A = this chain, B = another copy of it.
Amino acid sequence: MEHVKTIESLGKLVKAMRQQGKTIGFVPTMGAFHKGHMSLIETAVNQSDFVVVSIFVNPTQFAPGEDYEKYPRTIDADLKLCSDVGVDIVFTPSAEQMYPTENLTWVNVEKITAPLCGQFRPGHFQGVTTVCAKLFNIVLPDIAYFGQKDAQQAIIIKKMVSDLNIPLEIVVCPTIREDDGLALSSRNHYLDASQRQDAALIYKSLQTCRKEIENGTKEPETIIEKIRYTLQQAASIQIEYVSILDAESLNDLDNINGRVLVAVAVKIGQTRLIDNIIVDASEY
């Protein structure tokens, strides 16, 4: 495995691989790997001839006042994990490599960036789409892998790739969970023992919702109230949003029909956690 820090070196290595006709799989990450990341990386290793993992805590996707400075950085452990599963290149550019001059160019996706996390993290998705566009141009992968845990991000990236004709397939991999259902997140490390216990209510609330939809409940507000009720069992949980939206367009729904995205964001202490499920309501 090669550990590459400059865009120029990476460009040469991937160009050589492409010229050999190898398919390139790419997993863009911010590091601090858990089993969720590793499932993306292992899928890439299984599906592609040559796998590039980037680790870059991208400053432009943190909203003012967010945790850019304290975001966990575990580069040595991350490198070992990549090496163990057969990654070919880990790319860890500095902020100066990625933004060598004042960045004036932003990739903006309208509408689907507005609801959910878009309401609470100003500039976040603009930072994500821009850095992904940059990384896609640097790596020129055939396939890139994203997690279902960041459902809105995956939908936005897919739309950007389609709208801009980026020659790339996006694969979205399932959310990986702890035994009690908590979705794996690098930010789970911020939780103390009591907060960690309360955090299990997030997935529990989504399971409640799934049962309601399976039972034929069609009014989004009824289900949203049940999710909120479950979350409010823990005083530590402050709800940011609970939303049920069309899983493709992220439009509001009058009635629950077709594939719906049920998405929750909460704060537990200072830690912001998100989770979601997709339910095909047309089956019920």
Indicate which residue in B11, B107, B167 contacts A11 across the interface (CB closer than 8 Å). B167
Chain-B contact segment, one of A74-82, A109-117, A204-212, A232-240: A109-117
Question: Is A9's beta carbon under 8 Å from chain B?
Answer: no
Contact A167 B107 (CB under 8 A): no
Indicate which residue in B7, B138, B162, B164 contacts A133 across the interface (CB closer than 8 Å). B164
Alpha-carbon distance A103/B133, docked complex (angstroms): 16
Interface mask (A130-173 → B, CB under 8 Å = 1, otherwise 0) = 10011101101000000000000000000110111111000000
Contact A105 B165 (CB under 8 A): no
Majority SS at the chain A contact face? mixed
Question: Is A101's beta carbon under 8 Å from chain B?
Answer: yes
Residues of B within 8 A of A229 (CB): none
Contact B101 A167 (CB under 8 A): no
Residues of B within 8 A of A107 (CB): 105-108, 164
Residues of B within 8 A of A16 (CB): none
Chain B nearest CB: distance from A251 CB in Å?
Answer: 12
Chain B nearest CB: distance from A261 CB in Å?
Answer: 17
Alpha-carbon distance A166/B11, docked complex (angstroms): 11
Residues of B within 8 A of A112 (CB): 104
Alpha-carbon distance A112/B103, docked complex (angstroms): 12
Classify chain A's interface size. 20 to 34
Alpha-carbon distance A105/B128, docked complex (angstroms): 13
Closest to A98 in B: B165
Contact A137 B104 (CB under 8 A): no
Contact A164 B11 (CB under 8 A): no
Indicate which residue in B19, B137, B165 contacts A134 across the interface (CB closer than 8 Å). B165
With contacts A101-B162, A162-B101 taken as known, whether A167 is within 8 angstroms of B137 at the C-beta atoms is: yes
Residues of B within 8 A of A11 (CB): 167
Contact B108 A163 (CB under 8 A): no
Those 8 A-B pairs whose CB atoms lie nearest each other, nearest first: A105-B163, A137-B165, A104-B110, A134-B165, A105-B160, A105-B109, A138-B165, A106-B108
Q: Report 11 cross-chain contacts, Cβ distance below 8 Å, ordered by A residue.
A: A7-B165, A11-B167, A104-B112, A105-B129, A105-B160, A108-B108, A135-B165, A137-B165, A137-B166, A138-B165, A140-B167
